[in-house]
Chains A and B, each alone.
Chain A
Amino acid sequence: GAVVSQHPSRVICKSGTSVKIECRSLDFQATTMFWYRQFPKQSLMLMATSNEGSKATYEQGVEKDKFLINHASLTLSTLTVTSAHPEDSSFYICSAEGEGWGKPQHFGDGTRLSIL
């Protein structure tokens, strides 16, 4: 089945650091990927839609200069949290648009980001 790999799984770093998270589709091509943020025991909040070869589409209220998204190939999208601060600490999950009817999403394992 479709596999999405997300790396790293956990990051702990100092305030002001920029952090890059990678999302790869391992056995299929993903024209579209999605980036979510999830707080403990809460739902997924869509941050942006990442489209291969074009600019990402950000949801309202998400700072595009803070959360840089690059989707340079059909198998890789990256999310960079620039100059991260403690309030950026969260669980970030990527997903890739699947194939077949309904195009169910295939999710990565998530990245736990902790900013000290």
Chain B
Amino acid sequence: AQTVTQSQPEMSVQEAETVTLSCTYDTSENNYYLFWYKQPPSRQMILVIRQEAYKQQNATENRFSVNFQKAAKSFSLKISDSQLGDTAMYFCAFMTYTNAGKSTFGDGTTLTVKP
């Protein structure tokens, strides 16, 4: 069974600064996908960024980037130039190739961006 651990229940950051959210996972699979989803106070979850395990290059999406350490089973999310609209709950998720579509989610990190 796969597990996803987010060790930071809550975090805060000043506007325009950088923050890193941590995520570790446990699996015996070699081929899988990793995701970060964002759930703002309006509640709809949206995809922030995704990474395929066989790719060594870290994924980036504008101000969002990941630090993927496969050996350490770590998948942290870095948000640069934080904006007030980044305030949300962030979930790290894991999905194997063989179980496509069915993700395992971490417990989430509530991020507050302060003005």
Interface of A toward B, CB cutoff 8 Å:
32, 34, 41-44, 46, 49, 91, 93, 95, 97, 101-110
Contacts and interface: CB of A to CB of B under 8 A. Distances in A.
A109 B91 contact: no
Size range of the chain B interface in the assembly: 20 to 34
B1 to A, nearest CB: 11
Interface of B: 33, 35, 37, 42-47, 50, 52, 89, 91, 95, 100-103, 105-108, 110
B35 A107 contact: no
12 contacts: A43-B107, A44-B91, A91-B43, A97-B100, A101-B50, A102-B50, A103-B33, A103-B100, A103-B101, A105-B45, A105-B101, A107-B44
Given A43-B107, A43-B108, A101-B52, A109 B101 contact: no
A97 B95 CA distance: 12
Contact of A93 (B35, B45, B110): B45
Nearest to B6: A43
